Amino acid sequence: MLSRVADSLYWLSLNMERADNITKLLSVRLVSILENNNQKIDRDDNWEELVKISGDIQQFYDQYADCNRSSVIEYLAFSKENPNSISSCVAIARENAKGIREIIPMELWEVINELYLKIITFSAKDVTIEQLNDFFQMLLEKSFQYQGIITGLMPRGDSYSFIMFGKHLERLRKLSRTLDVYYHKKISVRDNKENVNYHYWSAVLSAVGGYESYLQKYQALIEPLKVVNYLIFDKTLPRSANFNVHRLQYAFGKLQAEGVTSYSEALYNKLNELMSEVSYDSLDQVSISLHDYFQRLQQLCDDVGKAIMDTYYLGEIKSL
């Protein structure tokens, strides 16, 4: 496979995953406001944490004087100045898809193009929270279509492996950043911890697609450490850290069917190092602070991304 094609597949997948993650975060926040009718949920510091998860907090304050619902939604969803906004990510994915239309299913190009057109024609001015949430729900439905087309129509060859690289690396990166921001901010500053734990860890689970499966496993007992253990170490949850590293190793194994070579050894070692960090039985076995642990996962994600770039001659990877 040409490195140009591999590069386009990788960045298409990574940016679609990034757009999906941001959309979920914004949608869950809006749903919380609508369902609870609680002004505390709409506090400025609660919106700032979403920017921190995106990794662009300094860039945000370079562009906006105030951090509130309006500015954060504009920045994370629609800003052309933010290369990691939903709009920018989908535009990047579309450009990559356009150059490899002969490689990907026609239906995949069509759903990405339709998503792009819906975003650029949507006006966020003077819309209600309900209308904004309806828009984000539509984006999530298109994202499900995108994922379904890949699962149902793409042959499990090299193209599929590079899509898996982008998807699962970005999913793991955002999961570790989300847990890092949420766990340390909320627990330390809130008063009624029991109520806060239930409300806000329910939101965390919803944002990463693990709410219903968590309740099936643990019933109604939502506790921070249980949630984090589930999202990091569970082997069956498609968005857990453990599951995503397994998928990265699987994609690598398919590409290196003839075995690890000198040029792929660095990537192989980094994937194994990452796997060792998400293979504990629980956080009790982690010898460093949770913040340091989450930071280590993020650093290893960056290391794996750089190793993918070096091994397969891809374009520069972003560390967000």
Q: Mean pLDDT across the stretch 16-26?
A: 96
**Boundaries of every domain in the chain:** 1-154, 155-314
CB–CB of 251/202 below 8 Å? no
What are the CA-CA distances from residue 122 to residues 162, 174, 223, 226, 307 (Å)?
Answer: 31, 26, 38, 39, 38
Q: How sure is the predictor about 320, in pLDDT bands with cuts at 50, 70 and 90?
A: very low
Number of H helices, E strands in the chain: 14, 0
pLDDT tens digits along 161-212:
999 999 999 999 999 999 999 887 654 444 556 666 677 788 899 998 899 9
User: Are the beta carbons of 69 and 47 closer than 8 angstroms?
Assistant: yes
**The residue type at 237:** L
Tell me: the pLDDT tens digits for 41-64?
A: 556 568 999 999 987 899 999 999
More confident residue, 176 or 317: 176
φ, ψ of residue 317 in degrees (nearest 5)? -90, 145
Terminal CA-to-CA distance of the chain, rounded, Å? Answer: 27
How do residues 60-106 score in pLDDT, each as one tens digit?
A: 999 999 999 999 999 999 999 999 999 999 999 999 999 999 999 99
pLDDT at position 184 is 72
Look at residue 226 in the predicted model and tell me its pLDDT. 92
pTM given for the model? 0.92
Question: Residues for the chain: how many in total?
Answer: 320
CB atoms within 10 A of CB 48: 19
Contact indicator for 49, 179 with CB cutoff of 8 Å: no
- What is the pLDDT averaged over residues 244-270? 95
Rounded to whole angstroms, the Cα distance separating 260 from 258 reads 7
